[in-house]
Amino acid sequence: MKIDVKHVADLARLKLSEDEMRRLEKDLESILLRMERLKALDVEGVEPTFGAGDVQRLVLDQDRPAPGLPREEVLKLAPSSEGPYVSVPREGTPGDAPQGSE
Amino acid sequence: MEIWELGAKNIREQVLRKEISAQEVLDSFLARTAEVEPKIHAYIELIEPQARLDAARVDALIMRGEDPGPLAGLPVALKDNLNLKGVQCTCASRILEGYISPYDATAVKKLRKAGAVFTGKTNCDEFAMGSSTENSAFGVTRNPWDLQRVPGGSSGGSAAAVAAGMAPLSLGSDTGGSIRQPASFTGVCGLKPTYGRVSRYGLVAFGSSLDQIGPFGNSVWDCALALEAIAGEDPRDGTTSKRPVPRYTEGLKRPVKGLVAGVPREMMELVTDPGVRREFERALKIISDLGVTVVETSLPTTEYCLDVYYIIAPSEASSNLARFDGVRYGRRAKARDLDEMYYETRGQGFGIEVQRRIMLGTFALSAGYYDAYYLRAARIRTLVRRDFDKAFAAHDVLLSPTAPMVAFKIGERVDDPLAMYAADVLTVPVNLAGIPALSVPCGFSRPDESGPELPCGLQIMGKPYDEETVLALGYAFEEACSDWFVPKTAAMRKSLSSQEECEVVVRDTI
Amino acid sequence: MSETQYELNVGLEVHVELATASKMFCRCKTKFGDPPNTNVCPVCMGLPGALPVANEEAVRLGVMAALALNCRVNLSSRFDRKNYFYPDLPKAYQISQFEEPLAVSGYVELASGKRIRIRRLHLEEDAGKSMHAGDDITTASYSLLDYNRSGVPLAEIVSEPDISSPEEAREYLEKMQRTLRFAGVSDVKMEEGSMRVDCNVSVRRKGEAQMGVPVELKNLSSFRAVTRALAYEYDRQSRLIEQGKRIARETRHWDEDKGVTVSLRAKESSQDYRYFPDPDLPRLELDEAFIESVQRAMPRLPNQVVDFYVNVLGLPKYDAEVLTVDPNLVKFFDRCVELGGEPKPVSNWLMGDIMAYMNAKGLSYDTIPVTPENLVAMLGLIKDGVISGKIAKDVLIKMFETGKAPGDIVKEEGLEQVSDDASLSVIVDSVIAANPEVVAQFKAGKDKVLGFLVGQVMKASKGRANPAKVNIMLREKILS
């Protein structure tokens, strides 16, 4: 089992040194090798289990607003803030990309 | 006898009878902590001032003739992945160093309402990932039975605090054995409740479909008391059960005669330490003598559980730990732009084991591998659950050793992930199935001829939401063993006082 | 290049914020425009240990939206985690529905009868908002984050690539906007971001079986931007095909000022969202009885209203379409008719002076400053000859400004038409006396000049004289 450690580290946003990269590659490959055993089991038609417990239906809460955290507390937690906002370094290549989620 | 030696049940009764005050109780435990904590390093942070206020509040209630709650001033240590408002919550990680939680976990809220006094936050493996408490950014916790050995993990600090007499009760979390395995390694009782029995709100998530909060205590009775206080439906956790919470302490003396206990043969095949096997077999004899029918049974998927667990738990963890990005809280690495901030913050903030699991989980969920890994594991999890359903159709409880070995030496396994993961091989099936299980001390093994005796645990697994039967059997078993187990613990605690202080060892990969 | 050689295929992804009071998975307020970071809690800030709890009303509104758009609601659906890093996404995953959405297989019917198929409608949570610090995008080194919007419930509505022109896209969006507004599920305001549109656009030679390479368009902040951007992309892509060039699978950003799209990023394999079922949220299970109860509570939708206005009230189709631009306008109109107002005059006044006034003042239809009662009363005054249509325009302005009843305004300001003989007689006499030459011309048979005299009387009465009566009285007085 070969694993593209660099790609996975990019997905997870982890900065790893060459050494760490090599070490994780070795570890993950030996773990995945062990897991090859799972392929021997026939799971055709078996429903997956994604959660334990006896709650089978999503619990729905009433739409009644309740107070949250005071802004001062939220901003105090943040490593940096400006005025009423949490602040973070900008994206790397300024000018070509607008900000915003997908 | 000092107050800290009395046990939760006696302390509580004396406080309620006003023979001692909650503040005296706290003083006694703090004094004991001052004496042995430098050897054990069970705590990440002690919160003496808050604890004193809590104890004074309980005393004030008692003075006014009001009900202080069922825990009546009992000190409780909290694993540092449980949110306690106004106190640091680090999960033993650099990335959360200095993070002061702005809210209480539901279990914490319930304990406070029940009259508990919080002593501090205990050490653990970073984000509960580990089986030895060596993966902590704040140093290794030591096993009170042998300071050169690990207390187990991940809730090693909570287990060691109770074992060493620093707190009569503590809370841990159990995703794959993180309560039961350290309970076994430190000779205390530890209970993982049924998934959905205790709210996870405020427990920093590791494997969301596996995590449960549970108690450590010196006795089954202590665990029952704590469970009673923390269990129940929580509107903030949509996976908690609506079932009413039984009075677990009152159910302890229900008769165990006539129960049928199964011993899964596949689990026995995984026990590596002959001493552990010997003590377990002796425990089975005691249980038979209690009138329980003990028979061999089968859980055919047992051998796959560890693999399934090490796909599902890291997958969920890779998503759960993505929020530690340096944006809104916690540590942020210096960076010129956003991407560098993410990479550096997470690269520097997480230790190697956490990174390993994030990588493993990210891989298992990634495009092209999801079906072969995550989805396949989730399907096999169904087979595991079916195995347990089938076993519980014929047996009231299932029994196994809690861990295949006794406490190992610090540094012995920490660089070999597969060897470390093997410590969970008997506990992870329980989390995959979501059932309750208790670890209760059942004997001692001496892996080194010259070394000290080390405790081993009996795991009692029960049907979903049948903590009562599990606890009742544990209680009956404990009664049958108390004449030889309790003195050994007392002796260990006594010898601990004369041990030298230990340096705090922080591993360089953390 | 022959334009008609190419065919445009557009699929739209529309996000609408559901009109709940609290967020999708916590009970923080959803109010638009509150001060930054004031509606946040451990859940929507993604603090360690917090867990989501779903909002019942969001589910109800999602089902309502699905039914209004002719979708089939799945009785069982599931929430998944969409994993990606962005500072406005607190948990670094968005709770969404990927594999098993709330609803599928709907459509929006265009005026031409063509149906634009809706592939799916699912529930998810919104992200926060990020802005640049400083004025200059190239020098600002920080982004500022406001998490008030984080966790606001969204319905994402994904169409099939059935749209074949910018005009169809616009009509689809307008029809959807109206429908959702009438169903009461969302404000659907593009300008406040409660409705957002992304396009997947591809171009192919006519007759070609294979769809073209889809290009994703972002930053479309108005319907006009959508049509302009689509027209631009149609040109750009057909030109590339003409030149034999390859069209890149990418995301492009619409630059409103320059009127062009610019490449944002290639859709690489690095965009791997690693969807998996959210273990914190059991399946969303609904039953038939619930779906039926939502269906029963469904307000009348625009199509039904238009039908009713045309076929029952006899309004022109044009009027009916204009009135159904907003449910509050429809409510207002319906109330007027209920109070005895004649449909066509009510419609005229609404579409004319009232809309003009509201547009000028920038008012929205949820705050129409006159009551249906007062409008109907005003129409009654015109019909009874108490005021002229011209005076009524002034009265309406006063009604807007003061909120008073038209009868009171007419009385206070003395605006009634003067019809009584005695009062008119005095004015008419004075006009005759003041214009002897014109009177003489009239007497001499120059009939046209009477209009001038009527005008003088109207002027002297400040417009209040009843013009018909003035006409008769002038003739009688001069010729007798």
pLDDT tens digit sequence for C223-241: 999 999 999 999 999 888 8
C316 and C437 both lie in a single domain: no
Among B325, B329, B362, most C C-beta atoms within 10 A, so best to mutate, is: B325
Nearest-CB residue to A51 (from B239, B335, B338): B239
Inside any domain, residue A83? no
Q: Are C298 and C184 in contact (CB under 8 A)?
A: no
Inside any domain, residue A60? no
Which chain A residue has its CA at the smallest distance from C19's CA?
A63
Task: State the burial class of residue C412 (Cβ atoms within 10 Å of its Cβ: 0-12, 13-18, 19+).
Answer: exposed
B497 is catalytic: no
Q: What is the C-alpha to C-alpha distance for residues B506 and C105, in angstroms, rounded to an integer?
A: 58
C409 and C425 both lie in a single domain: no
Domain end call among C413, C435, C456: C413
How many independent structural domains does chain C possess?
Answer: 3
Its domain, for residue C356, covers: 299-413
Q: What is the DSSP letter of B219?
A: S
Inside any domain, residue A25? yes
Interface of C with B (CB under 8 A): 42, 45-54, 81, 83, 85, 87, 90-93, 143, 145, 147, 269, 272, 274-276, 279-282
Q: What is the pLDDT of residue B88?
A: 97
Alpha helix (H) residue ranges in B17-151? 22-40, 48-63, 106-113
Whether C142 sits inside 8 A of A61 (CB atoms) is no
How many independent structural domains does chain A possess?
Answer: 1
Whether A52 sits inside 8 A of B434 (CB atoms) is yes
Give B-chain residues touching C53 at CB under 8 angstroms: 235-238
Which of A60-69, B176-185, C57-66, C338-347 has the lowest average pLDDT? Answer: C338-347
Kindly provide the residue ranges of all beta strands, DSSP E only, lying in B130-251, ordered along the sequence: 169-174, 189-192, 212-217
Q: Which of B21, B93, B132, B178 is the catalytic position? A: B178
> Of B195, B203, B120, whose CA–CA distance to C47 is shortest?
B203
Q: What is the pLDDT of residue C311?
A: 92
Among A16, A34, A54, most B C-beta atoms within 10 A, so best to mutate, is: A54
Among A85, A87, A88, A93, most C C-beta atoms within 10 A, so best to mutate, is: A85
C154 and C240 both lie in a single domain: yes
The SS3 assignment for B130 reads coil
> Of C424, C391, C427, C423, whose CA–CA distance to C410 is shortest?
C391
Q: Which chains touch B (3 or more CB pairs under 8 A)?
A: A, C
C96 and C212 both lie in a single domain: yes
Q: Which chains touch C (3 or more CB pairs under 8 A)?
A: A, B
Looking at the DSSP assignment, which residues form a beta bridge with residue C103? Answer: C73, C121
Cβ under 8 Å to C: B residues 364-423 = 365-367, 370, 374
Domain end call among C244, C273, C290: C290
Q: What is the DSSP letter of B409?
A: B
Which chain B residue has its CA at the smallest distance from C275's CA?
B365
> Of B183, B255, B193, whose CA–CA distance to B224 is shortest?
B193
B79 is catalytic: yes
Q: What is the pLDDT of residue A97?
A: 43
C303 and C428 both lie in a single domain: no
Q: What is the DSSP letter of B375?
A: I
Domain end call among C269, C290, C311: C290
Ramachandran area for residue C88 (φ above 0: left; ψ -120 to 50: alpha; else beta): alpha
State how far residue B363 is from chain A, nearest Cα, in angstroms: 6
Which chain B residue has its CA at the smallest distance from C90's CA?
B323
Strand order in the sheet with A85-89: A81-82, A85-89, C142-146, C129-132
Q: What is the pLDDT of residue B272?
A: 87
pLDDT tens digit sequence for C307-336: 999 999 999 988 898 889 888 889 999 999
Q: What is the DSSP letter of C350?
A: I
Q: Which residue has the higher pLDDT, C247 or C18?
A: C18
C104 and C136 both lie in a single domain: yes
- For chain C, the first-to-last Cα distance in angstroms comes to 80
The parts of chain B modelled with pLDDT lower than 70 are 509-510
Its domain, for residue A21, covers: 5-38
C129 and C185 both lie in a single domain: yes
At residue C31, does pLDDT exceed 70?
yes
Residue holding tokens 């009127």?
C259
The SS3 assignment for B174 reads strand
Inside any domain, residue A14? yes
C401 and C429 both lie in a single domain: no
> Of B224, B306, B113, whose CA–CA distance to B475 is shortest?
B224
- How many of the other CB atoms lie within 10 Å of CB of B295? 11
Q: Give me the interface pTM, i.e. the ipTM.
A: 0.96
Take residue C140 and report the two structure tokens written for it. Answer: 């600002």
Looking at the DSSP assignment, which residues form a beta bridge with residue B231? Answer: B198
Task: State the burial class of residue B242 (Cβ atoms within 10 Å of its Cβ: 0-12, 13-18, 19+).
Answer: exposed
State how far residue A76 is from chain C, nearest Cα, in angstroms: 12
Q: Are C123 and C95 in contact (CB under 8 A)?
A: no
Q: Are C454 and C478 in contact (CB under 8 A)?
A: no
> Of B271, B270, B265, B304, whose CA–CA distance to B384 is shortest?
B304
Alpha helix (H) residue ranges in C297-341? 302-311, 317-323, 327-338
Helix or strand (DSSP H, E) at B339: helix B338-349
Take residue B154 and report the two structure tokens written for it. Answer: 């991940």
Q: What is the C-alpha to C-alpha distance for residues C140 and C153, in angstroms, rounded to an integer?
A: 31
The SS3 assignment for C95 reads strand
Q: What is the pLDDT of residue C460?
A: 81
C52 and C144 both lie in a single domain: yes
In chain B, the domains with their CATH numbers are: 8-302+378-498 (3.90.1300.10)
Which of B31-40, C12-21, C469-478 has the lowest average pLDDT? Answer: C469-478
C45 and C137 both lie in a single domain: yes
C126 and C147 both lie in a single domain: yes
B132 is catalytic: no
Nearest-CB residue to A56 (from C30, C47, C283): C283
Phi, psi of A35 (to 5 degrees): -70, -10
pLDDT tens digit sequence for C259-311: 899 888 765 545 799 999 999 999 999 999 999 999 999 998 998 999 999 99
B280 touches chain C (CB under 8 A): no
- C61 residue type, one letter: L
> Of B325, B203, B214, B100, whose CA–CA distance to C50 is shortest?
B203
Q: What is the C-alpha to C-alpha distance for residues C447 and B256, in angstroms, rounded to an integer?
A: 121
- In which band, very low, low, confident or very high, does the pLDDT at A98 lie, cut at 50, 70 and 90? very low
pLDDT tens digit sequence for C86-127: 999 999 999 999 999 999 999 999 989 999 999 999 999 999
- Which range of B203-212, B439-448, C344-353, C468-477 scores highest in mean pLDDT? It is B203-212
Inside any domain, residue A28? yes
Q: What is the C-alpha to C-alpha distance for residues B228 and B225, in angstroms, rounded to an integer?
A: 5
pLDDT tens digit sequence for C405-417: 887 887 787 767 7
Q: Which residue has the higher pLDDT, C274 or C357?
A: C274
Q: Which residue has the higher pLDDT, C2 or C308?
A: C308
Q: What is the pLDDT of residue C136?
A: 53
Q: Are C17 and C126 in contact (CB under 8 A)?
A: yes
Give, to the nearest 10 degrees, the angle between helix C223-242 and helix C166-183. Answer: 150
Whether C132 sits inside 8 A of A71 (CB atoms) is no
> Of B360, B349, B380, whose CA–CA distance to B314 is shortest?
B360
Residues 6+ apart with CB under 8 A from B233: B199, B240, B241, B242, B243
C-alpha R_g of chain B? 21
Residues 6+ apart with CB under 8 A from B92: B44, B80, B81, B123, B124, B125, B126, B127, B135, B136, B137, B138
Q: What is the pLDDT of residue A83?
A: 93
Mean pLDDT of chain A: 88
Q: What is the pLDDT of residue C1?
A: 46
CA C156 vs CA C78, C147, C194: distances in Å: 15, 20, 12
Give A-chain residues touching C34 at CB under 8 angstroms: none
C184 and C244 both lie in a single domain: yes
Residue holding tokens 């005296």?
B24
